[in-house]
C-alpha cells in the first residue's frame, strides 16, 4: 500500500470493537454530525436479521443515508475478505456520490485480515487507501474480555469471570492494531478503574492515540482524515517513542509506566502488558546505518515465519542508504526509511522529511523474543 497520491484516492476508516462496545453508536454519531465528508458505509453485520439498522442512519440534514452496504455473513476474514473487496468495487462504481468510506466490522473480525485487503490488492490500492483503524473498548466490561492483571504479570487471573465467548484473542488484536483507541462508557466506571483501563490500553499499544468518551462521542477531527499510514505521520509517531537509556552492561534500558506499579516481567526495551501482549522497542546505536534490503528480508522472516513470536503490528524508522543503492559507500546519500506492518503484510518506504539520529523499531504481539529481534536488527547493519 503506497502512501503517495492521497488526494486522488478515497480514504477508508475501519471501525472495530467487541460486541456492545459502541461501534454502531459511533457510526451514527459520525454520520449525523457535520464534518465535510460524503460518507458511504459498509456495515458488516453478524446476521441478516440485523440489517434493519441500515435505514435508521441519517445525515446532518436528517436525510436517510443511501449508501449502506451490508455483508451478511458476519466476519471480515478468510472468504469474507473477498466480500469486502467486492463491496468496495460496487461502491467505487458510484464514487461521484461519496468521498469517504466507513467499514464497520463485527466484534469477532480479525483486523489483520481487514488491513491486508488494502495492501495486497493493487487495483484497489490505486483507488482507495486505509486512513486508519479505530478500535472501541467498553470501559465497563473491559475486564471480561481483556482479562484482569495479576500484580506480577500480564495474564488474566485464574478463574476470572469472562463473558467474552472466548474471543479475547481477537479483542486484543483489535487493540494492538488500532491507530486510535476509544475508551467508551467512561461515565459508567469509577475514576480508578478508568485510569487503570487507560493505562492497560497504553501498555498494549503505546503509539495509538487514546480518546475517552461517553456514548462514543469524540472529536471527529481526531478519528477521520488521519492518514495514519502516511510515512511522515508514521515517522512522527515513532520519533515520539521514548529514548532508551544505556545500561552499564551495554544493553538498553526502557521507559514506560505500569498501571499496577510492578515491573517484574519487563526486560530491557520489552513490556509484558495486559493478557500477555508485549511491546518490544528496539533502538539502534548512535550513527548506525541499516541496509533496507536486509531489513526487508529480516522482516519477511519475522512476520511470515514467526521466528521471533507472533507480531500483530510493527512500526519503525531507520537510517541507511537508499534501497537498491549500488553506489560505493563513500558516495551514498544517507536517508531515513519508514516501515510499518499489520499481521504478515508490511512495507518499507523512504521517508524524505524525517530525520532520526537513532533508528527505532516497535513490535507489538504475543510471545515476542526480544533477543532474537535485536540480533536480527543487528544483522541488518549496512556493510562498511
Burial 247-263 (b: 16+ CB within 10 A, else e): eeeeebebebebbeeee
pLDDT at 119: 77
Select the more confidently predicted residue: 59 or 135.
Answer: 135
Mean pLDDT for the stretch of residues 257-269: 39
Residue 75 is placed in which grid cell?
A: 466476519
The arithmetic mean of pLDDT across residues 257-264, rounded, is 38
Rounded to 5°, the CA angle 300-305-309 comes to 105
Write down the pLDDT at residue 236.
77
Which of 382, 271, 379, 279 lies closest to 337 in space, CA to CA? 382
Q: Please tell me what DSSP assigns to residue 332.
A: P
Q: Is 129 left (phi over 0), alpha (psi -120 to 50) or beta?
A: beta
Model confidence, pTM: 0.76
Cell triple for 91: 461502491
Average pLDDT rounded to a whole number, residues 269-298:
80
Q: Hey, is 4 helix, strand or coil?
A: coil
CA distance 210 to 202: 8
The predicted structure's pLDDT at residue 2: 52
As a whole number, mean pLDDT of residues 289-294 equals: 94
**What pLDDT is stored for residue 54 in this prediction?**
54
Q: Are 177 and 115 in contact (CB under 8 A)?
A: yes
Closest-CA residue to 279 (of 189, 153, 368): 368
| Nearest one of 20, 11, 5 to 216, comparing CA atoms | 20
Dihedral sign (CA 92, 96, 101, 106):
negative
Chain centroid to Cα 374, Å, comes to 22
Q: Say if residue 45's pLDDT is above 50.
A: yes
Decide which of 221 and 119 is more confident: 221
Average pLDDT over residues 270-280: 63
Mean pLDDT, residues 151-157: 35
Lowest mean pLDDT among 178-187, 290-299, 334-343: 334-343
Positive or negative: CA dihedral 139, 140, 146, 147:
positive
Instruction: Give yes or no for residue 137 having a pLDDT over 80.
Output: yes
Lowest mean pLDDT among 6-15, 70-79, 358-367: 70-79
Tell which phi-psi region holds residue 264, choosing left (phi > 0), alpha (psi between -120 and 50) or beta: alpha
Is the pLDDT at 110 greater than 60, yes or no? yes
Residue 373 clears pLDDT 70, i.e. is over it = yes
pLDDT: which is higher, 356 or 195: 195
Cα distance between residue 339 and residue 349, in whole Å: 6
Q: Hey, CA dihedral for 369, 373, 378, 383, is it positive or negative?
A: positive
Q: Which residues pair with 12 in a beta bridge?
A: 101, 130
- pLDDT higher than threshold 90 for residue 251: no
Average pLDDT over residues 243-248: 46
**Tell me: the pLDDT tens digits for 175-232?**
988 999 999 999 999 999 999 999 989 888 888 999 999 999 999 999 999 988 887 7
Task: Return the C-alpha cell found at 294.
Answer: 536486509
Mean pLDDT in the chain? 75
240 vs 256: CA distance, rounded Å: 13
Least confident among 61-65, 110-114, 134-138, 279-283 = 61-65
At residue 235, the pLDDT reads 77
CA dist 356 to 240, 241, 270, 340, Å? Answer: 11, 12, 21, 16
Q: Residue 328's pLDDT band (boundaries 50, 70, 90)?
A: low
Amino acid at each position: 500500500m503506497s502512501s503517495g497520491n492521497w488526494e486522488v484516492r478515497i480514504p477508508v476508516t475501519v471501525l472495530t470493537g467487541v460486541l456492545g462496545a459502541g461501534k454502531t453508536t459511533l457510526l451514527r454519531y459520525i454520520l449525523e454530525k457535520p464534518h465535510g465528508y460524503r460518507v458511504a458505509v459498509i456495515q458488516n453485520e453478524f446476521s441478516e436479521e440485523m440489517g434493519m439498522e441500515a435505514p435508521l442512519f441519517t445525515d446532518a440534514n436528517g436525510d436517510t443515508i443511501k449508501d449502506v452496504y451490508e455483508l451478511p455473513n458476519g466476519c471480515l476474514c478468510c472468504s469474507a475478505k473477498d466480500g469486502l473487496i467486492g463491496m468496495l468495487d460496487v461502491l467505487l462504481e458510484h464514487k461521484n456520490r461519496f468521498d469517504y468510506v466507513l467499514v464497520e466490522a463485527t466484534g469477532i473480525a480479525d483486523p489483520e485480515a481487514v488491513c491486508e485487503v488494502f495492501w495486497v490488492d493493487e487495483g484497489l490500492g490505486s483507488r482507495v487507501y486505509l486512513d486508519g483503524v479505530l478500535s472501541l473498548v467498553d470501559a465497563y466490561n473491559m475486564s471480561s474480555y481483556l482479562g484482569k492483571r495479576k500484580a506480577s504479570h500480564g495474564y488474566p487471573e485464574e478463574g476470572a469471570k469472562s463473558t467474552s465467548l472466548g474471543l479475547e484473542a481477537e479483542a486484543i488484536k483489535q487493540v494492538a492494531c488500532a491507530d486510535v483507541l476509544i475508551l467508551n462508557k467512561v461515565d459508567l466506571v469509577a475514576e480508578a478503574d478508568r485510569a487503570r483501563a487507560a493505562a492497560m490500553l497504553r501498555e498494549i499499544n503505546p503509539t495509538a492515540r487514546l480518546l475517552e468518551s461517553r456514548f462514543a462521542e469524540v472529536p471527529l477531527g481526531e478519528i477521520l482524515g488521519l492518514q495514519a499510514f502516511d510515512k511522515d505521520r508514521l515517522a512522527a509517531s515513532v520519533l515520539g517513542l521514548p529514548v532508551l537509556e544505556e545500561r552499564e552492561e551495554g544493553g538498553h534500558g526502557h521507559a514506560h509506566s505500569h498501571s499496577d506499579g510492578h515491573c517484574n516481567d519487563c526486560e530491557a526495551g520489552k513490556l509484558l502488558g495486559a493478557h500477555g501482549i508485549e511491546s518490544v522497542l528496539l533502538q539502534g546505536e548512535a550513527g548506525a546505518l541499516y541496509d533496507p534490503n536486509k531489513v526487508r528480508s529480516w522482516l519477511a522472516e519475522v512476520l511470515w515465519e514467526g521466528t521471533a513470536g507472533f507480531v500483530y503490528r510493527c512500526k519503525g524508522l531507520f537510517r541507511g542508504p537508499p534501497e537498491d543503492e549500488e553506489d560505493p559507500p563513500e558516495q551514498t546519500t544517507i536517508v531515513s526509511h519508514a516501515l510499518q506492518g499489520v499481521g504478515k503484510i508490511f512495507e518499507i518506504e523512504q521517508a524524505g522529511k524525517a530525520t532520526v539520529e537513532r533508528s527505532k523499531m516497535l513490535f507489538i504481539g504475543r510471545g515476542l523474543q526480544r533477543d532474537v529481534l535485536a540480533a536480527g536488527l543487528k544483522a541488518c547493519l549496512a556493510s562498511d
